[in-house]
Amino acid sequence: MHKVKLLRGRNMKILINDLKTEAIIGCYDYERDQKQPLVINLELELGNWSYPDELVHTVSYDELCQLIRELTQASKFLLLESLAHYLVNELFTRYSQIKHINVNISKPDVCDALDCLIRVEYAQNRQYKIALALGSNLNNPQQQLISGIEFLSEIVSEIKVAPFYKSSPQGFSEQDDFYNTCISGITTLEPQELLIALKKIEKRMGKSEQFTNGPRIIDLDIILFEGQIVQGLFLQIPHPRMHERDFVLQPLAEIEPNWLHPKLLLSIKELLANLKSNQQFILQQVM
């Protein structure tokens, strides 16, 4: 009989222990003819728990156990490693509530035969595709953008970097031109966690904005986060003014032209084509 536990702490976790199922699994000929028993243990992390007492915010344990059995019994992998990876990807696809998964799988018959416990373990955080905008007009702005991207590589993987552009300043005109670019990539951070991480990078780079629209050493803004819409006191996604700024849309269109704005339901290249003349800031590609 498998066991389900709830662990409360900084993050809510669901532990499912000793879930018994079966599958065609293995590399040897005799393992391809009939199913053999498997034992699966799962650790699911739901993140910081601040939700109403409703099932929609968590995972149905019975449904989850049944799904695991259905997925394994229909599978025909050669390796336990492949099965573990497949299960993690399927659970992330089907349950948006899950932020982290740790799964381990063992073949009890093999363990008994060898008189030892052998199991495969695989862990992964949920990954999100994001787009960020970078801007600078102080202390060699091009180098500041490069440094910003280097810092961002600590929290963003698979980075694609757009060309650099120079644009005239907004609001306060008595300052140097801005250099701008965009990146897209993958992060495991949640939106608020990402915002905090960006603010820390800005601080590490010496940002000290004196007044709104004034000169600054670096700006790091979240433009898009998967297809999510976030409305918070300090964070709005998509960026509320991205569709009005050519210094965001032009570089972003060069790396993610088909990414759909989740509110306006237009692609980046369509938003760029729809820009009005008063939303253009005399862009000049510099790199």
Task: Indicate if 82 and 132 belong to the same structural domain.
Answer: no
Residues of the chain above pLDDT 70, percent? 88
Q: Are residues 203 and 180 in the same domain?
A: yes
**Amino acid sitting at position 131:** A
Chosen domain end from 72, 90, 125: 125
What is the spatial distance between Cα 103 and Cα 41, in angstroms, rounded to a whole number? Answer: 6
- Segment 89-116 shows an average pLDDT of 90
Please give the Cα distance from 229 to 195 (Å, whole number). 14
pLDDT at position 163, please?
94
Examine the domain organization and report whether 179 and 260 are in the same domain. Answer: yes
Structural domain for 75, as ranges: 3-125
Cα→Cα distances 186→85, 127, 164, Å: 18, 6, 21
- The answer to whether residues 143 and 106 belong to one domain is no
Model confidence, pTM = 0.81
Q: Of 109, 125, 141, which residue sits at a domain end?
A: 125
- Judge if 59 and 132 occupy the same domain: no
**Residue 9 confidence (pLDDT):** 47
Separation CA 70–CA 22 (nearest Å): 9
The predicted pLDDT at position 113 comes to 81
